[in-house]
Chain A
């Protein structure tokens, strides 16, 4: 029995019912569409007289379509006697519409009510012929949406300053503008029983490994959920090990980073409604790279990457090592530092473990409060929390200055992570390592570190070892790619990704 089935049983979740397709079987009539969209105030249906005297029903979802587009591309030509005057039957009128008598870039002939309903919800309007029991649908989607803006999380000084938005087509347009290659393929899959969200699978034909694209498509198509509204709705179903705290899909809000990864041999996902691009497979090293690295000199970029790796060790181990040393291994510190620690702790009423745990918890609290509040208020909370409360706590001898320094240093080191999901995983593990240190000192940390390493080495993302190129089948190959090699020398694509075109430049 699978874990999910055991959980279902424990939580008394009702049994799974396979998705019913089509949801609205039968031919299309205006009455049937009205029934489908009963109690939907934004559903509009009006009778129109087509040029020759025939009657049809025009349906659309108000708000999803552009009123101007409906008037200009559908209503105006339909009511034009010159265009439709000679039509004696509904079929003839429908055929003329499909042939271009009514304007519209995307026109579809629908005979199933289910398809027509899906079109209406995707920004189409439908001209329904009851006698024909069919409809002609036109794409008249409104272009309203957030304008392309600067990335908020992945800022760049030398790079492009555009980020993905919530509209899928705008995102695909941005990707196309970066990669003007007909080999760039985009295929959409609809996910979510109720949200019917379009998910675009993006890859470069002849470069991305065929197996990777097929596997990604298989996993996306397998998702059977009510709605795809957040990143986790996709990630948790697509990732190899969803229980792992480590992210297994690279997320980016930058189209240039998205394209750069496509060029490395990864496959991408763009989701309608999410201003993010997802890339698979995600490897550990990938979460330490930023687009800015490519823009900087290779020595500077490599040093910065090294600092990020060092920061992982600091953010993960520093509080735990401090507690272990303070509680169990006092001999590890130089005498003078130890004496400073002893002096600083003299009037603090709490044990070191409690002190550091409380500080870390407060740090998380402040961070959470800062994130949930508007920018200006968030900054105020940070200042009050970090400076005023922190200093007051030290002055009131509730915490020792060295504990504040350790926790602050570990926290700041965590902020060097370019990926927030990776930073979150490290924050979680920092607490676990701290607990290990409290109960077993350095031995606990060693065991904790070994378990984390074991877990990382056992992870795979789409068949690629997560710790590539440090470990796994491809361990040791292309180790320099962990940093930022000079571009003239970095000619091969990562072999672990299995690209069909293995060389990237002359």
Chain B
């Protein structure tokens, strides 16, 4: 027993819980804590501006802090060790928003901080503020009893269903940067006085994707391409499509998608083919449509397929334009045909921007939910 006692006492002195002389020094009482749910990171010549929002989940009002420091780690440390009424606790941070300027300067420091800080979680979602500072979103976004954290929470939940593609976490972003050298993050922007809210509220709206290459922001993709991005990356699970079918506005609901990529050769050069098979259901139409008629359904499906084909083509062209494969095309091709892709793995970055491709889309309308006029 005595042999054990000495190592145990020594180990106690080395505990991470001991910051000064007593092991009790690192304690913080829960009643003083406020859980930071969203961190905003902005950067300029003078350093980093960290803004933090607690959200209104605890039943109380959201608390917002702003700290300026030389580095992100220093700002976060000062945020936690502040001498304010509450102790900020960053261990429950769910969202990190990077201001556009900060993203252009590089997201490496932020990812590094999240990865290396014990309290931070790797599943923290990463957003880029399009055309604004993160601080503007953190301090400016306000709704009925809602702060930026609550809005981002909602956006994160709805993104794969309503907004076409999901939200990348810090872990996913770091993995994509390590393997592909680029990543597409969710871009968000403040939306003052949205039509659904009361006057004076500012919402957070999805604003396409932010293309990060190396660790810097290259540009943005439009929000309209989000579904195409989602289809190519496999993150879309549902989504609505508004069509104009012979002058009748129609809404289709995507109920299933099967997108396959395969390497092909075109004129002796490597190319790839995209084959997307989509299943839709008719959600509603502004005028009566005879959906029982096969020709009407085929027409609707063809119109939807044509739109999607255009969006997929545009999304791939845009990726080629940026010169980075943030859509994960190489990964998908390697998974589909590892042997054929082996020679191109190393040279993929130079090959991809000028690679030829074909896109084939087929769609089918499966059911209408109209019990009086069912489709088999």
Footprint of B on A, CB under 8 Å? Answer: 326-328, 330-331, 335-336, 338-339, 341-343, 345-346, 348, 351-352, 438-441, 443-444, 447, 451, 454
Distance to closest chain B CB from A349 (angstroms): 10
* B12 contacts partner chain A, Cβ-Cβ < 8 Å: yes
Q: Mind listing 18 A-B residue pairs with CB under 8 Å?
A: A330-B30, A330-B91, A331-B92, A338-B30, A338-B33, A339-B57, A342-B31, A342-B34, A343-B58, A440-B17, A440-B18, A440-B23, A443-B11, A443-B17, A444-B12, A447-B11, A447-B12, A451-B8
List of 7 A-B pairs having minimum Cβ-Cβ separation, nearest first: A331-B91, A345-B31, A339-B58, A335-B92, A443-B15, A441-B17, A440-B23
Map CB proximity to A onto B5-17 as digits: 1 under 8 Å, 0 otherwise. 0001001100111
Are A342 and B58 in contact, CB atoms less than 8 angstroms apart?
yes
Assess A338 versus B17: contact at CB under 8 Å? Given A330-B28, A440-B23. Answer: no
- In the complex, A440 Cα to B15 Cα: how many Å? 8
Known: A330-B33, A342-B33, A343-B59. A443 touches B12 (CB 8 A): yes
Residue pair A336, B57 in contact (C-beta under 8 Å): yes
Q: Number of residues in B with C-beta < 8 Å to the partner?
A: 31
Known: A335-B35, A342-B35, A345-B30. A328 touches B17 (CB 8 A): yes
In the bound complex, how far is the Cα of B62 from the Cα of A339, in angstroms? Answer: 12
Q: Is B227 in contact with chain A by the CB < 8 A criterion? A: no
CB atoms of A348 and B31 under 8 A apart: yes
B:250-295 near A, CB below 8 Å: none
> Distance (Å) between the CB of B189 and the closest chain A CB?
26
Query: Chain B: residues with CB nearer than 8 A to chain A?
Result: 4, 8, 11-12, 15-18, 23-24, 26-31, 33-35, 37, 57-60, 89, 91-92, 94, 118-119, 121
From B35, B94, B121, contact of A338 by CB (8 A): B35
The complex places the Cα of A242 from the Cα of B37 at a distance, in Å, of 53
* Contact call A339/B35, Cβ cutoff below 8 A: yes
Bound-state CA distance A487–B34 (Å) is 57
B149 to chain A, nearest CB (A): 10
CA distance A392 to B104 in the complex (A): 58
With a cutoff of 8 Å between Cβ atoms, the chain B residues found around residue A454 in the complex are: 4
User: CB-CB < 8 A to A351: which residues of B?
Assistant: 29
Q: Note all chain B residues with C-beta closer than 8 A to A338.
A: 30, 33, 35, 92
Among B12, B31, B33, B37, the residue within 8 A (CB) of A440 is: B12
Question: In the bound complex, how far is the Cα of B31 from the Cα of A341, in angstroms?
Answer: 8
| Beta-carbon contact of B23 and A326 below 8 Å | no
**Which of B31, B33, B57 has its CB near the most chain A CB atoms (within 10 A)?**
B31
Instruction: Give the Cβ gap from B117 to chain A, nearest Cβ, in Å.
Output: 10
The smallest beta-carbon distance between B55 and chain A, in angstroms, is 9
Cross-chain contact A342 with B12 (CB below 8 angstroms): no
Separation of A238 and B345 alpha carbons in the complex (Å):
75
Minimum distance in angstroms from B319 CB to a CB of chain A: 35
Residue of A nearest to B22 (CB): A439
What distance in Å separates the Cβ of A3 from its nearest Cβ neighbour in chain B? Answer: 13
Additional A-B contact list (19), CB under 8 Å, known A330-B92, A339-B57: A331-B89, A331-B118, A335-B92, A335-B94, A336-B57, A338-B30, A338-B33, A339-B58, A341-B30, A342-B30, A342-B58, A345-B31, A346-B31, A352-B30, A439-B23, A439-B24, A440-B12, A440-B23, A447-B12
Q: In the complex the two chains form, is A328's CB within 8 Å of B57's CB?
A: no
B34 proximity list for chain A (CB < 8 A): 342
B92, chain A: closest CB distance, angstroms: 4
A485 to chain B, nearest CB (A): 36
In the complex, the chain B residue whose C-beta lies closest to that of A439 is: B23
- A335 and B57 contacting across the interface, CB-CB below 8 Å: yes
Considering the chains assembled together, what is the distance between the CA atoms of A335 and B57 in angstroms? 9
Question: Which residue of chain B is the closest to A440 with respect to CB atoms?
Answer: B23
Q: Give Cα distance in the complex from A339 to B33, angstroms.
A: 9
**Contact partners of B92 in chain A: CB under 8 A:** 330-331, 335, 338
Chain A residues in 8 Å Cβ range of B17: 328, 440-441, 443-444
Bound CA span A107–B54, Å: 90
Instruction: State in angstroms the CA–CA spacing of A449 and B118 once bound together.
Output: 23
Complex CA gap A209/B31 in Å reads 60
How many Å from the CB of A399 to the closest CB on chain B? 13
Which residues of chain A are near B4, meaning CB under 8 Å? Answer: 451, 454
In the complex, what distance in Å separates the CA atom of A343 from the CA atom of B92? 16
A187 to B15, CA, bound (A): 56
Bound form: Cα–Cα A454–B2 in Å: 12
Tell me which residues across on chain B come within 8 A of A335, comparing CB atoms: 35, 37, 57, 92, 94
Q: How far is the CB of B31 from chain A (nearest CB, A)?
A: 4
Contacts of A326 in B (CB 8 A): 29-30
Please indicate the chain B residues that have their CB under 8 angstroms from the CB of A327 in the complex: 27-30
Point out which of B29, B94, B121 has the most chain A C-beta atoms below 10 A from its C-beta: B29
Q: State A474–B24 Cα separation when bound (angstroms).
A: 42
- Bound-complex Cα distance A451 to B11 (A): 13
